[in-house]
Amino acid sequence: MKRFVYPFAAIVGQDEMKLALILNIIDPSLGGVLIRGEKGTGKSTIVRSLADILPEIEVVEGCPFSCDPSQPEEWCPECQRRFKEEGSLPKIRRKVRVVDLPLSATEDRLVGTIDIERALKTGEKHFEPGILAAAHRGILYVDEVNLLEDHLVDLLLDVAAMGVNYVEREGISFTHPARFVLVGTMNPEEGELRPQLLDRFGLCVQVEGLKDPKERVRIIERRMAFENDPEAFQREFAAENQALAERIVKAKERLKDISLPDEMLYEVAKRLITLGIDGHRGDLTVIKAARAHAAFCGRDEVTEEDLKVAEAIALPHRLRRRPFEDVGF
């Protein structure tokens, strides 16, 4: 049964959320996105619609880790063995994947596990890949991340930061690359993330239901049109989706050449010191987001506008809360 995804270009409003996701596609080292907002604001729809605008990548055919044929130093043990025996690896091009992490997932399901019985019988290390393997070079989506068990969130963020998944069971270990864009959504009414976990997300956006009646009507009309004939609806927005996908590809190619004046580095550092933001992750994230935004806008140099946009989505969740800040009298 064919599955139809709501087109990214058809989504009304929520520009900040869409931009935060696009910037992470352009520069995956940004550290992912945390999307906070009330229920029914399209958080899940937007994340899943990313599949339509993600660029294609080249992978080793049949590899569960989506190894890059051009990066032999990062091949998984199976790809290394196949290359040694066959002298070459078959390759194909496919879309970047959006992989879901269910709340019911166990640690073994997340990181993968080693078949101990097979290892003891044959002496071979047979690794059963988990969700992190499927998400390598793609997007890992965690809906209601604030309800995920704390030890799994810690583990997830550690792997996302290192880009490597290290599994050890009964003295047998296995390592594989696990670089992905982490996207978490949450409804603050159902509980908050710990501050140290909040800081690990590169960008954070707050979403709310649209207040303009015209925009709300557009949402209703488009959703009903999609449900009535999803195939025709996708065709209607196919050109816009394609144009956006091409713009992202060009931005990724341009990113390495974006220049940033030294005075802007000092400006960012001074602003974050003034705001009392702990650590240095915030400084680096602002700079990376500003460069990605400049690339997306087709510029060769970071401007004040790029910094302003970057600060708006990279800093709010890192600001210290003052006593009684959330208390109403």
Active site residue 281: yes
Residue 1 has pLDDT above 60, yes or no: no
Whole-number Å distance between alpha carbons of 161 and 221: 41
Domain final residue pick, 208, 234, 263: 208
Residue 326 has pLDDT above 50, yes or no: no
Q: Is residue 264 domain-resident?
A: yes
Residues β-bridged to residue 127:
114
Domain match, 169 and 312 both: no
Q: Is residue 99 domain-resident?
A: yes
Domain match, 199 and 274 both: no
Residue 113 banded pLDDT, cuts 50, 70, 90 = confident
Domain match, 94 and 196 both: yes
Q: Is residue 228 domain-resident?
A: no
Mean pLDDT within 72-80? 82
Spatial CB neighbours of 93, under 8 Å, sequence gap ≥ 6: 56, 57, 58, 59
The model's pLDDT over 217-232, given as tens digits with 9 standing for 90+, comes to 988 888 999 989 888 9
Which range among 206-220, 250-264, 283-297 shows the weakest confidence by mean pLDDT? 206-220
Domain match, 179 and 277 both: no
Domain match, 31 and 174 both: yes
| Domain containing residue 182: CATH number | 3.40.50.300
Instruction: Name the active-site residue from 281, 299, 320, 321.
Output: 281
Residue 119 has pLDDT above 80, yes or no: no
Question: How many residues are given for the chain?
Answer: 329
Domain match, 81 and 142 both: yes
Contact 110, 128 (CB under 8 A): no
Residue 145 banded pLDDT, cuts 50, 70, 90 = confident
Whole-number Å distance between alpha carbons of 153 and 70: 31
Q: Which of 159-168 are b and which e, b meaning 16 or more Cβ less than 10 Å from the residue's Cβ?
A: bbeeeebebe
The model's pLDDT over 153-208, given as tens digits with 9 standing for 90+, comes to 888 888 887 888 887 766 667 778 888 888 888 887 777 777 667 777 889 988 88
Structural domain boundaries enclosing 291: 254-318
Domain final residue pick, 191, 208, 225: 208
Number of domains in the chain: 2
**Mean pLDDT, rounded, of the chain:** 83
